[in-house]
């Protein structure tokens, strides 16, 4: 039984809220993946970057969105009100660069997940994002890299791992080559892993 059929039979719609800081490629993949799904809906998109590509994505798909500052996130007003309005079953961090506040993690226990572009625990932590990760991996002459989808806790890239998917690093690969391979993995596996997490949430007693 698919999650769509299960949730349809349960007459429940699951909501996802996406947080992103950059161009929004992973947010786009998730929105497209669930676009024709009657049981799972992207109900909100949040960004701390007023120039982020996710705002165009939100407008094109008529998704409620919020632009906020780092200070807004640290307080308990604007962002919290948005989450109350959109009522997410799952919060997905898709290229979101700010540390997520403890109060939201407490309110959404085990319902905030993140994608990191390496095989954690390697090449994670503060400052390790985007091309920086791939530069570090190539410099260390690793032969394998990949993506990690994990629960979010109070520390950067430290929460329990949900799933990992890997790719080979060939001789001559530079950070840009590796970044393209990682983007391919993200497109293939991130949305379906999000779906699996939602299914797990909804089948809990």
Domain at 13, CATH number: 3.40.50.170
pLDDT band (50, 70, 90) for residue 5: low
What are 80-103's pLDDT values in tens digits? Answer: 999 999 999 999 999 999 999 999
Examine the residue annotation and report whether 150 is marked as an active-site residue of this protein: no
Give CA angle at 27 (58, 54), nearest 5°: 40
The total number of structural domains that make up the chain: 1
176 in any annotated domain: no
Single out the catalytic residue among 116, 134, 150, 177.
116
The residue written with tokens 């950070």 in the block is: 175
Alpha-helical (H) ranges within 111-174 are 131-139
Give me the sign of the Cα torsion angle 115, 112, 11, 32.
negative
The mean pLDDT of the chain is: 93
* Lookup: tokens for 144: 């394998």
pLDDT at position 71: 94
pLDDT band (50, 70, 90) for residue 203: confident
136 in any annotated domain: no
90 in any annotated domain: yes
Instruction: Examine the pLDDT at 66 and tell me if it is beyond 60.
Output: yes
CA distance 49 to 73: 12
- State what percent of residues in the chain have pLDDT above 70: 94
**111 lies in which domain range?**
3-117+147-166+190-203
183 in any annotated domain: no
Are residues 16 and 42 in contact, defined by beta-carbon separation less than 8 angstroms?
A: yes
pLDDT at position 9: 46
Phi-psi category of 24—alpha, beta or left, where left has phi over 0 and alpha has psi -120 to 50?
left
What are 7-31's pLDDT values in tens digits? Answer: 454 557 899 999 999 889 999 999 9
What are 29-64's pLDDT values in tens digits? Answer: 999 999 999 889 999 999 999 999 999 999 999 999
132 in any annotated domain: no
181 in any annotated domain: no
43 in any annotated domain: yes
What are 188-199's pLDDT values in tens digits? Answer: 999 999 999 999
Q: What is the DSSP letter of 126?
A: T
Contacts with 174 (C-beta within 8 Å, 6 or more apart), sequence order? 138
Q: Which of 13, 36, 18 is nearest to 28 (CA)?
A: 18
pLDDT at position 192: 97
21 in any annotated domain: yes
Are residues 19 and 92 in contact, defined by beta-carbon separation less than 8 angstroms?
A: yes
Instruction: Examine the pLDDT at 67 and tell me if it is beyond 50.
Output: yes
Instruction: Examine the pLDDT at 6 and tell me if it is beyond 60.
Output: no
Are residues 195 and 40 in contact, defined by beta-carbon separation less than 8 angstroms?
A: yes
């Amino acid at each position: 039984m698919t999650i769509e059929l299960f949730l349809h039979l349960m007459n429940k719609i699951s909501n996802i809220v996406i947080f992103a800081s950059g161009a929004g490629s992973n947010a786009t993949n998730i929105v497209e993946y669930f676009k024709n799904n009657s049981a799972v809906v992207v109900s909100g998109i949040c960004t701390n970057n007023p120039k982020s590509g996710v705002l165009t994505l939100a407008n094109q798909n008529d998704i409620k969105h919020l632009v906020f500052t780092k200070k807004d996130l640290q307080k308990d007003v604007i962002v919290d009100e948005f989450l109350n309005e959109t009522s997410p079953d799952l919060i997905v961090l898709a290229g979101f660069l700010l540390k997520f506040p403890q109060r939201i993690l407490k309110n959404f226990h085990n319902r905030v997940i993140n994608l990191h572009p390496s095989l954690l625990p390697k090449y994670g932590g503060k400052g390790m994002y985007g091309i920086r990760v791939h530069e570090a991996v190539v410099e260390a002459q690793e032969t394998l890299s990949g993506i990690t989808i994990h629960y979010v806790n109070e520390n950067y890239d430290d929460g329990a791992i949900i799933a990992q998917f890997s790719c080979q690093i060939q001789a001559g690969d530079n950070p840009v080559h590796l970044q393209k391979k990682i983007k391919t993995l993200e497109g293939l596996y991130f949305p379906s892993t999000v779906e699996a997490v939602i299914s797990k949430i909804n089948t809990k007693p």
